């Protein structure tokens, strides 16, 4: 069930979102939603849960400190993707050093986005799962779910 839902991907509106990219995102299991980075950080401050998967467009000369600051604002629950030009190796390296979760190129195909979606789903599942060791807690959770489903 969890794998059948599309993942909402907050897409840096500075990045080109053409038909080919949308097709690759959709086949990978993402649903792109363009948003300005300023709105994104404001939304993260206002709403603690906030967006879960964010794709930022890298620019030549983008500094590691800038990416690290963005990573700190978004927090560990957000799966951060850096999208770079094919020839922009320095920004890709800065992204990896600063802690982004994935780096993709502007012409990434469906298979690349599928791999990114699989990694993002693991992160989301990690933060949305409940793990109970004792049997009583498991029974209480099952009871709460049944009551919630019946209402």
Query: pLDDT value at position 151?
Result: 60
Domain count, the chain: 1
Spatial CA neighbour of 41 closest among 12, 4, 61: 12
Q: Could you report the per-residue pLDDT of 93-113, keeping only the tens digit for each?
A: 999 999 999 999 999 999 999
Domain with residue 138: its CATH number is 3.40.50.2300
Boundaries of domain holding 144: 2-150
**DSSP string for residues in the chain:** -GGGSPEEEEEETTS---HHHHHHHHHHTEEEEEE-HHHHHHHHHH-SS--SEEEEE--TT--HHHHHHHHHHH-TTSEEEEEE-TT-HHHHHHHHHHT-SEEEETT--HHHHHHHHHHHHHHHHHHH-----SHHHHHHHHHHHHHHHH-
Backbone dihedral angles phi then psi of residue 66, each to the nearest 5 degrees: -65, -45
Residues 138-145 have a mean pLDDT of 76
């Amino acid at each position: 069930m969890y794998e059948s839902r599309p993942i909402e991907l907050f897409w840096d509106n500075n990045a080109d979102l053409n038909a080919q990219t949308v097709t690759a995102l959709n086949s990978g299991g993402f649903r792109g939603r363009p948003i300005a980075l300023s709105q994104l950080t404001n939304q993260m401050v206002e709403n603690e849960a906030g967006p879960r998967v964010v794709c930022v467009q890298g620019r030549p000369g983008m500094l590691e400190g800038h990416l690290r600051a963005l990573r700190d604002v978004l927090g560990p629950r957000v799966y951060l993707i850096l999208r770079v030009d094919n020839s922009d190796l320095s920004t890709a390296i800065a992204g990896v050093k600063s802690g982004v979760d994935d780096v993709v190129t502007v012409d990434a195909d469906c298979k690349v986005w599928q791999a990114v979606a699989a990694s993002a789903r693991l992160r989301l599942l990690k933060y949305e799962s409940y793990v109970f060791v004792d049997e009583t807690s498991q029974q209480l959770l099952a009871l709460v779910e049944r009551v919630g489903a019946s209402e």
